[in-house]
Amino acid sequence: MPIDMPLPDLPPDARGRLVVGYSGGLDSSVLLHVFAHTPALRARGLHAVHVHHGLQAGADDWAGHCVATCERLEVPCSVVRVNVARDSGEGPEAAARAARHAAFAAQLEPGDVLALAHHRDDQAETVLLRALRASGPDGLSAMRPLRPFASGWLWRPLLALPRAQLLAYAQAHGLEWIEDPSNAVDDADRNFLRNRVMPLLRTRWPHADVALSTVAALQAETSGLLAAGDDMALATARTRDPSVLRLDALRALPVARRTRVLRRWIAELELPPLPARAIDWCNADLDTGRADRAPCFDWAGHRLQRWRGLLQAAPIRAPLDADFTAQWNGAAPLQLPDGGRLWLDGATDDRMWTVRAREGGERICLPGRAHTHALKHVLQSLGVPPWIRAQLPVLVDGEGRVLAAGDLAFDAGFDAWLRDGDRRLYWSPPGDMHTVLDAPIA
């Protein structure tokens, strides 16, 4: 080859296929060409994925160009069409990136390596963007050369190379690529930096991109050193439910460490990053302990919710539909309208019950008790958080007597019937909700 394109080595445990995110632009065209002409990489099972966003008038032509190029290189190519959420509140760039990454993740098999063509100029722009958004060490570490992604890895083998080297390679090999007309428009923040700010910086500091990339590397080292302490602090605050932390453990942390722990926790849950206002909301409550503050903070379709000594983070879910009612004999699992499920393990002896949402005011006679108790108080005494209570189905008999609240509380007679027949009633909440109560990990 006229121009060498050095690539870093992959770690030994990254042994799956190589999947190139191929847009058809200069950068990914160079990456795909290098991979296709490197026998050791092609032998891993090279594959290209083109994400069709449908945002540009020429999107169909771009997909056709990518397929044709892959055919010439004898590389399998998948074109994945996505719908970019225009009302996500994240902005068009972030929404398109989220859709693209979701499409890539769906294409990966366990152990596969997704290769993206970000280079040193991209890294410099990312550092500037993060600095202007007041990011800390984690944000300023910008893009990592290699990190876990979906069921495999995300690899950026060109991250240490300038775009000029990629352009020289493409010209030397006679590559053809797509020029996205939106890149010339300064409306997007990254485009403004690329087209206006970085050229100006280079007139004074010719190696500005090198310096900014070095900032990213140094901040990545700092972030790595801090991560060990974050893990230890987060471990002290965990409960058996991954989406719930103990407030007393968070309160004992210094504010700076607590902020990092909260962000790390949210990232582990794969929820949208917490805005600064959410961190302020958490810290105000933890530092003052005022009980009259709002117990919830909502962001990007998700909710932080404080209850007793707990803090929960999860997608916002509507409660179980108040109008829901169903006749059920337990012979087959009952799918609930919120995505939850109720099922009975064991024979039903032809009984029929009604399953419905809580109405308020229900009472239940617990095993070993002579009198009924308000179901609300029973659930509170069991430490059932409000985010679980809102989804809880109620099982009642033909006379309207409450037999069970999910699988958390049982009527004395119904409990005896279950035990006599070696039966078990189960309730699975919607999504990834947990019914684990507030006892911390032993």
Query: Residue 438: is its pLDDT beyond 70?
Result: no
Is the model more confident about 276 or about 90?
A: 276
Q: What is the pLDDT of residues 363-405, one digit of tens each?
A: 999 998 889 999 999 999 998 999 999 999 999 999 999 999 9
Please report which confidence band the pLDDT of residue 442 belongs to, taking 50, 70 and 90 as the band edges.
very low
Measured in degrees and rounded to the nearest 5, phi and psi for residue 275 equal -70, 165
Alpha-carbon span 25 to 20, nearest angstrom? 13
CA 265 to the chain's CA centroid: 11
The structure tokens 């009604």 sit at 354
Residues of the chain with pLDDT > 90, as a percent, come to 70
Residue 404 CA: distances (Å) to CA of 344, 370, 385: 12, 17, 17
The whole-number average pLDDT for the span 21-41 is: 94
Q: Are 342 and 408 in contact (CB under 8 A)?
A: no
- For the chain, the average pLDDT equals 89
Could you tell me the two tokens for 103? Answer: 């499409």
The whole-number average pLDDT for the span 399-412 is: 94
Query: Residue 420: is its pLDDT beyond 60?
Result: yes
SS3 state of residue 353: strand
Measured in degrees and rounded to the nearest 5, phi and psi for residue 39 equal -50, -40
What is the structure's pLDDT at 154?
A: 94
Q: Helices 163-172 and 120-132: crossing angle, nearest 10°?
A: 150
Could you tell me the two tokens for 143? Answer: 């893009």
What is the structure's pLDDT at 395?
A: 96
Domains of the chain: 18-215 (3.40.50.620), 238-315 (1.20.59.20), 325-428 (no CATH)
CA 296 to the chain's CA centroid: 20
- Phi/psi class of residue 227: alpha, beta or left (left: φ > 0; alpha: ψ in -120 to 50)? alpha
Could you tell me the two tokens for 305? Answer: 């919710």
Query: Residue 437: is its pLDDT beyond 60?
Result: no
Please report which confidence band the pLDDT of residue 440 belongs to, taking 50, 70 and 90 as the band edges.
very low
Q: What is the pLDDT of residues 156-203, one digit of tens each?
A: 999 999 999 999 999 999 999 998 888 778 878 889 999 999 999 999
Q: What is the pLDDT of residues 277-308, one digit of tens each?
A: 999 999 887 876 565 456 899 999 999 999 98
Q: What is the pLDDT of residues 53-86, one digit of tens each?
A: 876 778 899 999 999 999 999 999 999 998 877 6
Is the model more confident about 216 or about 436?
A: 216
β-bridge partners, 395: 355, 404
Environment class of 148 (CB within 10 Å of its CB; exposed 0-12, middle 13-18, buried 19+)? exposed
What is the structure's pLDDT at 235?
A: 97
Q: Which residues are annotated as a binding site?
A: 23-28
What is the structure's pLDDT at 26?
A: 96
Q: Are 355 and 435 in contact (CB under 8 A)?
A: no
Please report which confidence band the pLDDT of residue 415 belongs to, taking 50, 70 and 90 as the band edges.
very high
Measured in degrees and rounded to the nearest 5, phi and psi for residue 320 equal -55, 130
SS3 state of residue 306: strand
What is the structure's pLDDT at 104?
A: 93
pTM to 2 decimal places: 0.73
Q: Helices 255-268 and 208-237: crossing angle, nearest 10°?
A: 90
What is the structure's pLDDT at 91?
A: 66
Nearest to 336 by CA among 248, 429, 426: 429
The whole-number average pLDDT for the span 100-122 is: 93
Q: What is the pLDDT of residues 200-250, one digit of tens each?
A: 999 999 999 999 999 999 999 999 999 999 999 999 999 999 999 999 999
Q: Which residues are annotated as a binding site for ATP?
A: 23-28
